[in-house]
A and B are shown apart, each in its own frame.
Chain A
Amino acid sequence: MSGTLCIDGIAVPFSDGQTIIEAARSAGVYIPYLCHRPGYAPYGSCKLCTVKVNGRTNTACTLPAADGQTVISNSPDLQHDRQRITQMLFVEGNHFCPSCEKSGNCQLQAVAYHQNMLDNHYPHFYAQRELDASHPDILIDHDRCIFCNLCVRASKEKDGKEVFGIAGRGIHKRLIVNSPTGKLKDSDISVNDEAAHVCPTGAILVKRSAYLAPIGARIYDHHPISEVACEKEVIKAGEASGYPSCDQTKLAQNGGPDSHYAATMPPAPDIKHDR
């Protein structure tokens, strides 16, 4: 099935089998995400891509696109919720951007900037989990894991291995390694595996590759994640975009949009930091 859905007043075409986030990305409309990755099976754990579809809350990375859907993504309420969700992702780890080698290339950092996260908001746990540096080429810093499950999926679906898993629930949730000792050195992971490169934070790192990209040449140095993720300039609601605007009457009829919503509301500000 293919057709057109409406995201924040923009008519977005979709093709058969696409989820809302995939259709949006194809059309250059950025919906924030961390556990999603193009080409990977939907997972829906981080909840950053939460949108309202015909008035109901859904994750855009799991819901199939359907003809005539009216999607609200860039509303004050949803942006506020996304900011809080992002802040919660920082609570259980130790995300010290100033010395982290992933800084500037980190999706979590980039999303936090995009969501205008200026403080912790929630108290932090300052956890102290053991580093797994046992593998000669790959390192796990458990304090930076946000349980996005991408490494688990990458290892299973892309590498044909099952190196990683998520164990436990709630506060006891943790990334585990499928090896007799639980250490990475005793697993069958290789530095060429996709699982070694897919982490959106600095939790799984390839050793001795730190800071090779100078400041100015890192992924998010010159373009916010909203542009990088779509690989083209983000389309702002209500602006001429190459894609036609939706019928505003239809939007109102189908919408049940947020009470605060206005079609001309600008997107969340992108902060360009001297990081």
Chain B
Amino acid sequence: MYEHLETAANPQNLKRVAVDPVSRVEGHGKVTLLLDENNQVQQARLHIVEFRGFEKFIQGRPYWELPVMVQRLCGICPVSHHLAAAKAIDQLVGVDPANLPPAADKLRRLLHFGQVLQSHALHFFHLSSPDLLFGFESEIGKRSIVAVLTDYPDIGLQGVKLRKYGQEVIRMVSGKRIHGTGAIPGGMNKALNKEERDYLKQDIAQIVVWAQAALQLVTKVHTSHLPYYDDFATIRSKYLSLTKPNGALELYHGGIRVKDEQGETLVDHYDYCDYPKLIREEVRSWTYMKFPYLTSLGKSDGWYRVGPLARVNNCDFIDTPLAEAARVEFKQHGGEAMVHSTLAFHWTRMIELLHCAESIQILLDDPDLLSSDLVANGEKRYEGIGVIEAPRGTLFHHYQIDENDIVTKANLIVSTTSNNTAMNESVRQVAAKYLSGRELTEPLLNNLEVAIRAYDPCLSCATHAVGKMPLQLELVDADGKLVDKLVRHSSGEFIHGSE
């Protein structure tokens, strides 16, 4: 652990290097380093610089707007927000998950498998594959999906088409690729018709094959660079995720499971409606992102990781055969109960990608998808909690309403928030191990971004930038004087120099 690098003892005389913004992630964040005269890192922080305020401005709105309004948090995983809110408002109309009509439950699951498939494909191929295929410190021109499409056209194109398929699943169920409707209180507003179902069926076998290829690719990349990939930005942590009652991997609905660094189960099949007792959030002054922790273990020991690595580590098995075989191989690779390699997030992400493709294939043969029994009713309640496994990890939505159906209170714990401590620790570790004492170059700084990118953070959970975001890198000496500056304009042009 490199906790001592969170706050430098004497920051006044240190020079500051900023990676601002962090690119090829969703949203806007920056990394700052404070270096002493020998270029030794004294402080490293990942700052989230955006403030969204969704929890505030949905107050005063009628509750049925929530799934459609809060999905605007994100352009990448809107379905996850849509469904987490939908699960919460199901409770507001007195419908618990077990009482949801089977057709509605399966349509939501299909929608969510499409979401996770497209998000994972986007992250792996569009955002991370340049690092994995060309190297972490490759020349800047190589670090984009365009270079992947040029040098590895088959891989790049499969990534684009995998993502497209996921989006088509979303479009068939919710009417639009991004920000559709679909979930309503107690169910869904439409089933699939036969034409829509058959449209999705015609390509799914190919999608499973491509998902297998993506998994083989990431497995090869990881195992070909040992022990580096097992060591880079790696931290031993606890993991939190949902699992099915039988312990299987679960993305839509289940109980909370927490395992510790050794794989011991700390919490199992925990009702997520009691999450306020399980988790608290700490606020730190230098970032807009909170730091959640397990209440029972306290701020310093209670932090945990969520997301694909947590889910695959935590589950007992995966209930689709190809993904299960991949999980077994993955766990054997680690050699111990839990795999802690941060870059293994990519590996597990592709295991889940394959699981989503297999699950979609199974669901598309289910006649319930065409059923007209779509909505359940119940007695009104005043509080609703919905939890789902979003692509980036466990997502909590919690609402309270008044007698007039108006939202009075909202609390959202977005997946990336749960990885805040871990991402900062990974940044500190990379800074200390790979940057400290060296002359900083732009490719070298990409190591910091590679560490952050492994978590697939959705920093604002809203915006997405790739390739040509403006970026400014400043090197300031101990006296605060600008020594060097590197600017990348939005046009892609680089300007080097102190002016």
Contacts and interface: CB of A to CB of B under 8 A. Distances in A.
B175 A207 contact: no
Given A99-B68, A214-B189, A214-B190, A134 B404 contact: yes
Interface string B147-183: 0000000000000000000000000001110011110
Nearest to A210: B64
Contacts of A134: 404
Contacts of B344: none
B174 A211 contact: no
Contacts of A214: 175, 181-182, 189-190
A274 interface: yes
B405 interface: yes
B179 A211 contact: no
Given A98-B179, A134-B404, A215-B181, A139 B62 contact: yes
Secondary structure at the A interface, as helix, strand, loop or mixed, is: loop
Contacts of A210: 62, 64-65, 68, 184
A72 B62 CA distance: 44
Interface residues of A, number: 18
B68 A101 contact: yes
B190 A99 contact: no
A133 B65 contact: no
Interface string A211-230: 11111110000000000000
Interface in B67-106: 68-69, 72
Given A211-B184, A215-B175, A131 B60 contact: yes
Contacts of A215: 174-176, 180-181
Secondary structure at the B interface, as helix, strand, loop or mixed, is: loop
Interface residues of B, number: 22
B190 A211 contact: no
Interface in B249-276: none
A181 to B, nearest CB: 14
Given A133-B62, A207-B62, A210-B184, A216 B69 contact: no
B381 to A, nearest CB: 14
Contact of A101 (B65, B179, B405): B65
A29 to B, nearest CB: 32
B176 A274 contact: yes
A98 B180 CA distance: 10
Contacts of A172: none
Contacts of B60: 131
Contacts of A207: 62, 64, 405
B68 A212 contact: no
Interface string A107-122: 0000000000000000
A211 B189 contact: yes
Interface in A119-143: 131, 133-134, 139
B149 to A, nearest CB: 25
B65 A216 contact: no
A260 interface: no
B196 to A, nearest CB: 10
A163 to B, nearest CB: 18
Nearest to A216: B175
B73 to A, nearest CB: 11
B487 interface: no
Contacts of A213: 189
A127 B126 CA distance: 41
A134 B179 CA distance: 29
A210 B182 CA distance: 11
A169 interface: no
B189 A131 contact: no
Contacts of A217: 190
Contact of B404 (A101, A133, A208): A133
B185 interface: yes
B180 A131 contact: no
A83 B16 CA distance: 52
Interface in B217-231: none
B406 A133 contact: yes
B363 to A, nearest CB: 19
A211 B60 CA distance: 19
A127 to B, nearest CB: 14
A211 B181 contact: yes
Interface in A260-275: 274
Contacts of A133: 62, 404-406
Contacts of B184: 210-212
Contacts of B181: 211, 214-215
A148 to B, nearest CB: 22
A208 B175 CA distance: 20
Interface string B431-456: 00000000000000000000000000
15 contacts: A98-B72, A99-B69, A101-B64, A131-B60, A131-B62, A131-B406, A139-B62, A207-B405, A208-B405, A210-B184, A212-B189, A213-B189, A214-B181, A215-B175, A217-B190
Given A98-B68, A210-B62, A215-B181, 5 more contacts: A99-B68, A133-B62, A210-B64, A210-B68, A274-B176
9 A-B pairs with least C-beta separation: A215-B175, A99-B69, A214-B190, A133-B404, A210-B64, A211-B181, A214-B189, A99-B68, A133-B406
